[in-house]
Amino acid sequence: RMDSFQDFTELDEAIGRSNWVKSASVVLAANVRKHGVNAISSTDTNEKLDRIAKQNNWLAGLLLLNLATTTSDRSILKGIKGGKR
């Protein structure tokens, strides 16, 4: 688990990812956390399920970004840049 943005930045710089990947990772991770917190605090079952579904969509984007930047196949990145959330 990353304890701070500084930890994330140091790790990411060591890996050598581009600035747009770093920015996208921060946005995606923030949305995963936001929807998780909202799902936990929700008392309505339908709203809770909707929030979990949204969280899963953001999580899928984060995982795809990680996969795309850790493999030599850069064609995956085309789907991330033009995707909808």
How far apart CA 35 and CA 27 sit, in angstroms, is 12
pLDDT tens track for 49-81: 999 999 999 999 888 888 877 776 666 656 555
Asked if 67 contacts 76 with a C-beta cutoff of 8 angstroms, the reply is yes
**Tokens 């929700």, located at residue:** 42
Report the phi/psi class of residue 73: left, alpha or beta, with left for phi > 0 and alpha for psi in -120 to 50. beta
Cβ atoms within 10 Å, residue 49? 12
* Assigned token pair, 15: 């890996």
pLDDT tens track for 7-47: 555 555 555 567 777 788 888 999 999 999 999 999 999 99
